[in-house]
Amino acid sequence: YSLMDFRSVDRRAIFWALVSIPVQFYLAFIGWYGAFIIFIPVVMFLFLSTTLVLSQETDGITQSIAKIHWSLMLTVFGLSHLAYLLSLGDLDGFSVGPKGLILYVVVLTEINDILQFTSGKIFGKRGLTRVSPNKTLEGLIGGVLLTTIIAYFLNFLTPMSGIESALMGLIIALSGFAGDLLMSAIKRDFGKKDTGSTIPGHGGILDRVDSLIFTAPIFFHIIYYIYY
């Protein structure tokens, strides 16, 4: 929210948006899937929209509704899927448990970021997008291939077979790239190099977890649908 410009009448809606954060993570903690999956996308969308309408200030209300709710979806809703992984039960034949699932998706997501950056530095020649000029086709291909291979050998952290894990690694690599690219686009839109200065030389925390915003919910729902 600190990156965006809001109207003074938006403060009440922003307050309730912040209040929704512990509620969303509590729903993940108790493992109430039905409430977890609709709380921010449906309940908070309707509630925040109504709150903004009651302010009776219509100039810019569409942008305010979009920015406040979309920010909740992008960060809180996406990342809360990591917390929900801890609430998943044990599976027969899967001794590592939910902690292994978190380790798997976080490690692969961060490794993918590093490998795409490294591959681009070493082999990169063809730019991929104007949104992020430093990203190259060679970097994307190298990162995706290596992440897929590594995922094959990390299948012991999940209930998946080696081939299934490799396919999941491919999905994580591509979705992580999409998440990183989206955050780059947002920063360009607001004229920012980084989302913050929490980590000197690496930007803010959001710069470090932007890929997880995409990979966490995709990984969670695939695992949940197939195995739970």
| E strands, 59-201, in order | none
Query: In this predicted model, what pLDDT tens digit does every residue of 162-178 receive, in sequence order?
Result: 999 999 999 999 999 99
Query: In this predicted model, what pLDDT tens digit does every residue of 122-168 receive, in sequence order?
Result: 887 788 777 777 788 898 999 999 999 999 999 999 999 999 999 99
Return all residues near 197 (Cβ < 8 A) that are at least 6 apart: 203, 204
Calculate the CA 107 to chain-centre distance: 14
pTM of the model: 0.88
Residues 120, 134 contacting (CB under 8 angstroms) = yes
What is the distance between the alpha carbons of residues 151 and 131, in angstroms, rounded to a whole number?
28
pLDDT for position 196: 56
Angle value at C-alpha 16, between 10 and 20, nearest 5 degrees: 140
Q: What is the Cβ-side half-sphere exposure of residue 148, based on CA atoms within 13 angstroms?
A: 13
Query: In this predicted model, what pLDDT tens digit does every residue of 54-95 receive, in sequence order?
Result: 988 999 999 999 999 999 998 899 999 999 999 998 888 888
